[in-house]
Every structure is written in C-alpha cells, then in structure tokens.
Amino acid sequence: MKKIGFLLFFMLLASSLKAQSKKKYEIKSPQFGCTFEDGFFEANIIATQAKKVHRFQTHVYIQGCQVLSMPIEKVPQEWWALFPPTDIDDAGNTLIKAEKGIHYEVHLILP
C-alpha cells in the first residue's frame, strides 16, 4: 500500500512540475506591425461619396489592428454604410471602402 501511495504522490508531483514548466516557457506570438491594443480610439473621419464630403469625429473599435466598427449615430443616415474589417497602419490611418460607394478616411487622434 505504501508503494502505491508513494507512486501516486510521485506521479502527481511530476505532473505538477511539468505544468509549471509549461507556463514558465509559454511563448505568445507577437503581432508584427501592430502598435494598437484592442479597444476604442478617438478618430477624425473624412467620409466621401462621389463629390460629397462629410467630416466628423467619433470612436472607432480596433481589434487585431483592424477597424471593426465605427459608431456614427450623430451623422446623417446617408453617411451610414457597412464595411469589412480593414487594416490600420502604425500611424493610425486607414482608408475604408464601404457600401454605397462611401469611403471613410480614418485618422486616429493619438496622444
């Protein structure tokens, strides 16, 4: 009985040490070229459609260095359009091609 208890204790100890060593050497893949954490950022937006231009300020949601959403409730509905996730550069700028021929030029307001 002592041998089984000792063996069980040794196996638990070994598995515990193995789990600790995994955490110690865990490597996370870096996001190369991405300087923005996920979250909302204040931005200046220039929206264009044909020859019409509308400028406004809002917050954009960035995840994985892509602009995913842009709440624009205070802007006339004619400027509302869906768009695909769009990459943003390290300076905080991007050009989003949205539905209805609208282009959103995004410039993050950085500290």
Q: How far is CA 94 from CA 5, 19, 28, 46, in A?
A: 63, 43, 27, 11
Categorize the per-residue pLDDT at 101 as very low, low, confident or very high, splitting at 50, 70 and 90.
very high
Residue pLDDT, tens place only, 73-97:
888 899 999 999 999 998 999 999 9
Using alpha carbons, select from 94, 89, 102, 86 the residue that is nearest to residue 36: 89
Those residues whose C-beta lies under 8 Å from the C-beta of residue 69, and which sit 6 or more positions away, are 60, 61
CA dist 43 and 20 (Å) reads: 43
CA dist 105 and 82 (Å) reads: 14
pLDDT exceeds cutoff 80 at 25: no
Q: What is the pTM (predicted TM-score) of this model?
A: 0.68
pLDDT exceeds cutoff 80 at 107: yes
Residue pLDDT, tens place only, 37-80:
899 999 999 999 999 999 999 999 999 899 999 988 888 899 99
φ, ψ of residue 7 to 5 degrees: the values are -65, -45
Using alpha carbons, select from 59, 58, 62 the residue that is nearest to residue 75: 58
